[in-house]
Amino acid sequence: MTVEFGDRTVDSDGFVHGAWHLWIVMAAWRWETDDQVLAGSENDRTELKTALPGLNGDAFQRVHVDAVSLETVFEFTRSRLVTLPIYSRNQADLSLESWMLWTPDGSVIVADPDQGIVLREQAR
């Protein structure tokens, strides 16, 4: 799943991005409010298209990462996105990052099961 938030930018192909771009790769996730779970990683696309558009305009507030498990909570004004890594460590030659967050300056913050939270400086 990808989440775009922050000021809008348009890339050279005309695709609209947020200043921040979150890609959840090898993690289970759920999007919730104080009252309900809106969607989870195993919901089908039809359910996601119904449940998540109401979150447009929900401003990012802060993030909390558990240093041991890498369970992460991305908090927004009206909701939160909770991720739970599905691997405890990378497997053989596979790098199994739980999520990657591109920042406005092009750096990437990565939740890596072997290394923890890592900042990789690279262009978007």
* pLDDT tens sequence for the chain (124 residues): 888 888 888 888 988 888 999 999 999 999 999 999 999 999 888 888 887 777 788 889 999 999 999 999 999 999 999 999 998 887 777 778 999 999 998 899 999 988 899 998 865 4
Specify the DSSP element, H or E, that contains 28. Answer: strand 27-32
Provide the residue ranges of all domains of the chain, joining segments of one domain with +: 2-121
Rounded-to-integer distance, Cα 54 and Cα 78, Å: 10
The C-alpha torsion from 29 through 91 and 22 to 47, rounded to 10°, is: -30
Cβ atoms within 10 Å, residue 69: 12
Rounded-to-integer distance, Cα 61 and Cα 47, Å: 26
Instruction: Give residues with Cβ within 8 angstroms of 11, minimum separation 6.
Output: 17
